[in-house]
Amino acid sequence: MKILVCISNVPDTTTKITFTPDGKEFNTAGVQFVINPYDEYALTRAIELKEAQGGTVTVLNVGEADTEPNIRKALAIGADDAIRVNIKPTDAFLVSQQIAHYAKEGGYDLILMGRESIDYNGFQVHGMVGELLGIPTIAPAIKLDVNGSTATVEREIEGGKEIIDVALPLVASAQQPMTEPRIPNMRGIMTARTKPLKVVEPVGQEAKTSVQHYELPPAKSGVKMIDAENAGDLIKLLRNEAKVL
Partner 1 sequence: MSVLVVIECANGEVKKSSLEAASYGSKVAAALGTSATAVAIGDVQANALSSLGEQGVSKVLLDNDARLHDFVGAAYVKVIAKAAEQENSSVIVLSNSNIGAAIGSRLAVKMGASLATNVVSLPEISGASFKVRRGVFSGKAFSDVELTSDKKIIAVKKNALDIETSAGATATVENFSADLSDADFSTAPKETIKQSGDILLTEADLVVSGGRGLKGPENWHLIEDLAKALGAATACSKPVADIGWRPHHEHVGQTGITVSPNLYIAVGISGAIQHLAGVNSSKVIVVINKDPEAPFFKAADYGIVGDALEVVPKLIEAAKAL
Ligand X SMILES: Nc1ncnc2c1ncn2[C@@H]1O[C@H](COP(=O)(O)O)[C@@H](O)[C@H]1O
Ligand Y SMILES: Cc1cc2nc3c(=O)[nH]c(=O)nc-3n(C[C@H](O)[C@H](O)[C@H](O)COP(=O)(O)OP(=O)(O)OC[C@H]3O[C@@H](n4cnc5c(N)ncnc54)[C@H](O)[C@@H]3O)c2cc1C
State the residues that interact with ligand Y by CB under 6 A. 13, 37
Regarding 101 and contact with ligand X (CB under 6 A), the answer is no
- Choice between 37 and 226, CB closer to ligand X: 37
What Å distances lie between residue 20 and 15, 27, 28, 214, 219, CA to CA? Answer: 15, 5, 9, 9, 18
The count of residues interacting with ligand X (CB under 6 A) is 24
**Which residues between 16 and 55 bind partner 1 (CB under 8 A)?**
16-17, 19, 26, 37-38
The least distance separating ligand Y from the CB of residue 34, rounded to whole angstroms, comes to 8
* Residue 214 contacts partner 1 per CB under 8 A: yes
123 binds ligand X (CB under 6 A): yes
**Alpha carbon of 160 to those of 87, 130, 156, 202: distances in Å?**
38, 24, 6, 39
Task: Please check whether residue 235 is in contact with residue 245, taking contact to mean a CB–CB distance below 8 angstroms.
Answer: yes
**Is residue 177 involved in binding partner 1 (CB under 8 A)?**
yes
How far apart, in whole angstroms, are the C-alpha atoms of residue 65 and residue 85?
Answer: 9
The DSSP 8-state label assigned to residue 50 in this structure reads: H
Pick one of 2, 4, 34, 39: the residue that binds ligand X (CB under 6 A). Answer: 39
Does 62 contact ligand X by CB under 6 A? yes
